[in-house]
Amino acid sequence: MSVHELTAMELRDRIAAGQIRSVEATRTILERIERVDPTIGAYLSVFPDRAIRAAEAVDRRIAAGERVGPLAGVPVAVKDVMCTSFGTTTCGSRILADFHSPYDATAVRKLLAAGAILVGKTNMDEFAMGSSTENSGLKMTANPWDTSRVPGGSSGGSAAAVAARTCFAALGSDTGGSIRQPASFCGVVGLKPTYGRVSRYGLVAYGSSLDQIGPVTQTVADAALMLNVIAGHDPADSTSVNEEIAPASDYLEKLEEPVEGLRIGVASGFNAGADPAVQEAVSQAVDSYRDAGARIVEMSMPHLDYAIAAYYVIATAEASSNLARYDGVHYGHRTANPTDYIEVYSKSREEAFGKEVKRRIMLGTYALSSGYYDAYYLKALKVRNLIRGDFVRAFEQCDAICMPVAPSTAFKVGEKADDPLKMYLSDIYTIAVNLSGIPGISVPCGFDDAGLPIGLQIIGPAFSEARLLRIARMYEARTDWHTRRPMGVK
């Protein structure tokens, strides 16, 4: 088996045992990026010299018998929405094309402290606003399974990089499904943790009450390994949950133990809008749990139908506020030869923000404006509480809920680019999780007739990641979908 075909866990263990050197694995990945990424376009920046130096340092420590971290020597990537003190942090936007952060995001710092080799930063929809990575202001990313199709978004670069085996794991961010949906489209595992489980310090904000960093990996075990590294309280982040309230676990400790007396919830009628192939694959996944001894519970979640409307009011309102700082003065793009301060502000933003970002800023500003705050924003917050209540009641009857990740498999590049509403509906099954602040995971569960991956979404109560990963692993262990590879990038 080639080095790049190993999982992150397998590589980590072989490096620790001295069977593979980190330099060898890192060079393999860098050579693969050079060969494969011109077709896929997953990376915005690559750090070959820095990665080789870091890998050499890991190899020296292992040879000297020193203790190393849980990701020692494993090449990984991060979505370019997380600050790094080296390279640029662009958020996929021309307004930050030359921005150099003075510090590392907490999640990045934890990866580096664990010995991970950061090989590059991945492409994304501009400021994480999109479902296809077509909204990147810097380049296109293709789906490794079919390069005429999108990889999903906004963490499309991270999912495509893992699927193309140009890294062993990656970090993404999830505001309304932006880890789970591209993971589904690219046939990999994507975990959105509970809001507050992973520090958001150094994550450039889109929707502050919705954003959450999480891993994109080849297997559930790799997701657990990555979460072990990045989870935990961070005093630099006021939304990070205190360990005394919800302590982080060792998510690998009991991963292989099936959940006894498992109850799987299925929201009645909620899957009806999905393509037949998606419905069939998810139905068969639920049957797999039934065959494993789980009890299937049908439940009503009446307010999920309003999730899209509530989300796009709340998210755009927060985006309008968060993106006000990009004014052509403090940092980022500045227009040439302005005549006055108003022109500095207006022309800088007009020139460097993309169409979708402008659309969401305008929607959010409208929702927050005088006379409309109560009618739209306040009402959306009330709907958000009703959706939270649906999940609370549901988890009194079941341990986890299964549903599709997306209503379809990966769609063609440009297919939905001119229809924002159609694009927004790509996230219809994922958005409610973010509104409720609870964890969700996407695991491969099949393919459609075109050979495109389908993802199963499993949702759990707040801070139930340990059990959620075990439930996901129960399904993964009974199937081989996660072992399939895109033919075009072998």
Is residue 304 within 8 Å of 66, Cβ to Cβ?
Answer: no
Pairing of β 295-299 and β 169-173: unpaired
pLDDT value for 114: 98
Residue type, 34: E
Are residues 344 and 335 in contact, defined by beta-carbon separation less than 8 angstroms? Answer: yes
Residues 166-196 as b or e (16 or more Cβ within 10 Å = b): bbbbbbbbbbbbbbbbbbbbbbbbbbbbbbb
Domains of the chain in sequence order: 3-258+480-489 (3.90.1300.10)
Q: Tell me what pLDDT residue 489 has.
A: 66
| pLDDT score of 272 | 75
In this structure, what token pair is assigned to residue 402?
Answer: 């299964």
pLDDT for residue 269 is more than 90: no
Tokens of 243: 């360990």
* pTM (predicted TM-score): 0.97
Residue 490, CA distances (Å) to 12, 42, 120, 166, 427 in order: 22, 16, 20, 11, 30
Structure tokens at 176: 């309304």
Distance between CA atoms of residues 416 and 170, nearest Å = 27
Sheet with 295-299, strands from edge to edge, namely 43-46, 117-122, 75-79, 169-173, 213-217, 189-192, 440-447, 453-459, 400-404, 263-267, 295-299
Q: Please check whether residue 118 is in contact with residue 47, taking contact to mean a CB–CB distance below 8 angstroms.
A: yes
Which ranges in 255-411 belong to alpha helices (H)?
Answer: 276-291, 307-322, 341-352, 355-368, 379-394
pLDDT over 80 at 325, yes or no:
yes
Q: List, in sequence order, the alpha helices (H) in 415-464.
A: 420-424, 431-436
Euclidean distance between CA atoms 327 and 331, whole angstroms? 8
Q: Please, is 346 exposed, middle or buried when counting C-beta atoms within 10 Å of its C-beta (0-12, 13-18, 19+)?
A: middle
The whole-number average pLDDT for the span 157-169 is 98
Q: Is 465 left (phi over 0), alpha (psi -120 to 50) or beta?
A: alpha
Phi and psi at 328, nearest 5°, equal 80, 5
Indicate the range of 130-139, 246-255, 434-443, 467-476 predicted with least confidence.
246-255
Across 16-42, b (16+ Cβ under 10 Å) vs e yields beeebbbbebbbbbbebbeebbeebbb
The whole-angstrom separation of Cα 328 and Cα 335 is: 7
Q: What pLDDT, in 10s, does the model give residues 29-86?
A: 999 999 999 999 999 999 999 999 999 999 999 999 999 999 999 999 999 999 999 9
Quote the distance between the C-alpha of residue 311 and its chain's center. Answer: 17
Report, as an integer, the average pLDDT of 387-406. 97
N-terminal to C-terminal alpha carbon distance within the chain = 12
The pLDDT of residue 421 is: 87
Structure tokens at 319: 């985006």
Judged against a pLDDT cut of 70, whether residue 488 lies above it is answered with no
| Amino acid sitting at position 194 | T
Segment 179-200 shows an average pLDDT of 98
Catalytic residue numbers? 79, 154, 178
Strand, coil or helix: 101: coil
Q: How far apart are CA 97 and CA 94, in angstroms?
A: 5
